Amino acid sequence: MKAIVDCNNFYCSCERLFKPGLDNKPVIVLSNNDGCIISRSNEAKKLGVEMAGPFFKAKPLIQQHDIAVFSSNYNLYGDLSWRVMETLRMMLGKKNVEVYSVDEAFIDLSIFPENELQAVAEEIKTTVETWTGIKVSVGVAPTKVLAKVANRLSKKYKQQYDGVMVLDSEEKIISALKQTMVGDIWGVGWQYAQKLKEYWSIYDALQLSRMSEEFGKTHLGGVMGVRLIKELRGEPAKDMEDELVSKKMIATTRMFGSPVGDIASIKEAIATYTSRAAEKLRRQYSAAKMISIFIVTKDQDHMLNFKKYGTISTYTTLPVATSFTNELIKPAVQLVDQLYEKGQLYKKAGVMLSGIVPDMSIQGNLFLPGSKNSERKLMDMMDNINFSQRDDVLKFAASGTDRNWKMQQNHCSKRYTTRWNELFKVH
């Protein structure tokens, strides 16, 4: 049996954790640059606040109902996410927990007898909420897809199931599938859902589960469609996956606080993002062979498909794979000259590192002085100081000092769990 543990309205729950006065009151969290609404409490949903809706359009409704507003605080969310996942690992063992996203994790419960699953799921929920303060819902079923179905219904009918739903019989599975529309199935996108309804009159998960595997292969994306139908029938087709220790691509992207038109500011931003990507690269003991950058003009909608709207990008291949910030900043900043157009305004930029290899595989150069071959020690020292002191105490001059292009966070809460000077105070 598989389970999924899902944090309820995660970003809003993180904000409420240190502001208990917001319990049972409407709360929303905004995207980068305070642009759109990306998380809503149940109370905000009931008031009609739209998901992914522009913040400025929702302001009248927000003011009318005194809705609490927060900018995205990823330091806080990331740390609380780690605490939730670490709690699950401590309870069930690392090999039985698959972190699926910042607020979701799959769990292998095959080690427990089926008659104990309800009690185990309830204990998981209680323990996570007690240890971390984050409210969660738990769905248990024979497969991952059915566990997602159970989890969704446990939240939809919270009073009936109290956030825990276990599908441990055929009758329960059939009932759950009847209550799940095709558009709400994990792995069925909006376009597939429309096709299923219009062409084959398939409206719920039960109807889809009774289609043939050949139908899934032909009309639902090949192998993925076959796996989806098998999982809906209760046949496991998606195994638990090991945590990805080393990423094959590392990216850092940000919106600017306001549209930027001068090349100097864009170069500062690219240098800053490259520094951050290089830190991530060193953290997994890797080096990169290729560096790409992109910038997005003000007249483009960053919520839409980048390729369709022609985001401006370019890349270069390095002579030797490296993780040294200075060796990555120089080519990255030079690439800006190829993309920048005078008179144009830009609202977003990003850096991507690829061609990633283990840094131990890089051979030292006999024709360079020893100091050049030991720059990793300098980078490690810089990383340690920045990690302990925070806020980029040490940085390269190319990253700038004023950084007037930084994204807006006008409603940001404190980083209660990761900054000494912002620790939560109890009076």
In a domain, 206, yes or no: no
pLDDT in tens, 225-239: 999 999 999 999 888
Same domain, 136 and 259: no
**Total number of domains constituting the chain:** 2
Amino acid at 175: S
Structure tokens at 226: 């076959």
Same domain, 265 and 130: no
Between 372 and 108, the higher pLDDT residue: 108
In a domain, 147, yes or no: no
Q: Is the pLDDT of residue 418 over 90?
A: no
Between 242 and 17, the higher pLDDT residue: 17
Mode of pairing for the β-strands spanning 286-297 and 104-108: unpaired
pLDDT of residue 363: 61
pLDDT of residue 300: 53
Task: Output the DSSP codes for 9-27.
Answer: THHHHHHHHT-GGGTTS-E
Termini Cα distance of the chain: 46
In a domain, 329, yes or no: yes
Q: Which of 140, 169, 196 is the last residue of a domain?
A: 140
pLDDT band at 298 (very low <50, low <70, confident <90, very high): confident
In a domain, 95, yes or no: yes
**Residues 123/139, Cβ–Cβ less than 8 Å:** no
pLDDT in tens, 41-53: 999 999 999 998 8
CATH of the domain at 286: 3.30.1490.100
User: How big, in percent rounded to 5, are the helix, strand and coil portions of the chain?
Assistant: 45, 20, 35
Give the separation between CA 87 and CA 73, rounded to whole angstroms: 22
pLDDT in tens, 56-101: 899 999 999 999 999 999 889 999 999 999 999 999 998 999 999 9
**Residues 130/83, Cβ–Cβ less than 8 Å:** no
pLDDT of residue 221: 85
Same domain, 260 and 378: yes
In a domain, 131, yes or no: yes
The SS3 of residue 100 is: strand
In a domain, 158, yes or no: no
Count Cβ atoms below 10 Å from residue 159 Cβ, excluding itself. 6
CATH of the domain at 91: 3.30.70.270
Count Cβ atoms below 10 Å from residue 88 Cβ, excluding itself. 23
Q: What angle do CA 341, 346, 350 make, to 5 degrees?
A: 100
Domain span at residue 111?
1-140
**Per-position b or e across 342-381, b if 16+ CB within 10 A of its CB:** eeeebbbbbbbbbebeebeebeeeeeeeeeeeebbeebee
Same domain, 254 and 134: no
In a domain, 201, yes or no: no
pLDDT band at 367 (very low <50, low <70, confident <90, very high): low
In a domain, 51, yes or no: yes
Give the separation between CA 222 and CA 213, rounded to whole angstroms: 9
Give the separation between CA 134 and CA 298, rounded to whole angstroms: 38
Q: Is the pLDDT of residue 193 over 60?
A: yes
pLDDT in tens, 108-164: 999 899 899 999 999 999 999 999 999 999 999 999 999 999 999 999 888 888 999
Same domain, 378 and 258: yes
